[in-house]
Structure 1
């Protein structure tokens, strides 16, 4: 018997802006998507992957590697098979359709990372509506790696906030962030130093803004642990993980939070 349903917010982005007006390749990380989803299924929760367009997320090739599964070839193959073939990842659902179906039908929400969410989910009004619902209901909200930046979508003028960051207008961004639902929350997110290898080796350029400073500008209390080591923070309904290696710990924290909520219901 299912314990409840969890909606997974996926990204459709394939390119991200870099300084100088160019773009670089990006996407969603495979392990960050499938490891928590598979753990939820194993804990008797249903999962549903939805994106802005309804198309499946583009998996960043940098993440399509056994190293992101602890070097375990069998785990890597299981993850790839789950993403390719599991019904939960292949329903073609849009974020809007999930909202119209009724968010009360869901026990929790999860957003994995890769830089893709920094492009679309961060400023997507449907993602914002979903997060505002779960925040108001106090239901578990788990955001991994770059995923915590999706919390910005809860702002009524998230697109303008993001554009102000790209234009280097931090004062305007701070003004647009007033009243953010997650102000004062303790969070973690992919660090600026962890971003550097991607900038150097994949993007061949620098991002316009970095995740910890962006969340702090909006009002979060952001801390990061050692680079590329698991690190998870829980504050109220919000669970955030720093990087790809936080995939198993955030899954365990989310399942525990869902179980606690279910026990109280």
Structure 2
């Protein structure tokens, strides 16, 4: 029987500080989906349910990427009809892993979403893989273990770097800098690629609970995170 993966998208669509449209980032859903959709059952959810906003800048940026382009034109139903996280929470036990797509949107909603935090805790306590790419690892920043420690304490972790945020000129409007928050929560175990925008995928463990923790730094890491998640599930 194929494993069942919960994929979570942001519901946040506009940064007020600069009136900048945002949301989830196209290749960070397209590439893991390409790896996983023939190997697992994928269920898509978001905080508000319904249509989850796709960051228009990611469509433009990746228009020449065949995987993203094909996904954009053929799979729209996936993000137009998402389930509401609160409706999924009671069914968390049905799933074998959870994966968070990046984009700037999660920094504003999923990082502090109480339902998302409970979901991650449920997966981590069941030793099921928890995974995220780019800004997606922001969802782990406010999650604690049963003993009250940060979920990522003592775990090697990656996510969108300060240098990358500076280069896209959005550092000034972020609620926090992801690299700094991951560095603090992990106890100094944040790692990144040698150069900005280089691929970096980290397969680690939730130190206190023992389950797999999979993080990717940026869009270039999206395929690698999908492959690492497939490997963790044995498919």
TM-score by length of 1: 0.78
Query: Would the alpha carbon gap of residues 84 and 259 (structure 1) be closer, same or farther in structure 2, given more than 3 Å must change?
Result: same
Matched, 1:54 2:49: yes
Q: CA deviation at 1:208?
A: 4.4
Q: In the alignment, which residue of structure 2 is the partner of 1:76?
A: 68
- Counterpart mapping for 1:11-160 below 5 A: 11-16=10-15, 18=17, 24-42=20-38, 44-65=39-60, 68=62, 71-72=64-65, 74-85=66-77, 88-100=78-90, 102-155=91-144
Gaps of 5+ in 1: 157-177, 261-265
CA distance in 2, matches of 1:118, 1:250: 19
Query: Would the alpha carbon gap of residues 143 and 104 (structure 1) be closer, same or farther in structure 2, given more than 3 Å must change?
Result: same
Q: Any runs of at least 4 consecutive aligned residues in structure 1 with deviations exceeding 4 A, and if so which?
A: 203-206
CA distance in 1, matches of 2:68, 2:82: 24
1:198 to 158, 161, 168: 168
Query: Which has the higher Rg, Structure 1 or Structure 2?
Result: 1
Please state which structure has a larger fraction of its residues in helix. Answer: 1
Query: Would the alpha carbon gap of residues 92 and 240 (structure 1) be closer, same or farther in structure 2, given more than 3 Å must change?
Result: closer
TM-score by length of 2: 0.87
Q: In the alignment, which residue of structure 1 is the partner of 2:208?
A: none
- Check whether the contact 2:214–2:228 (CA below 8 A) recurs between aligned residues: yes
- Number of residue pairs the alignment of both structures matches: 225
Q: In the alignment, which residue of structure 2 is the partner of 1:223?
A: 191
Alpha carbon RMSD of aligned pairs, Å? 2.2
Gaps of 5+ in 2: 206-211
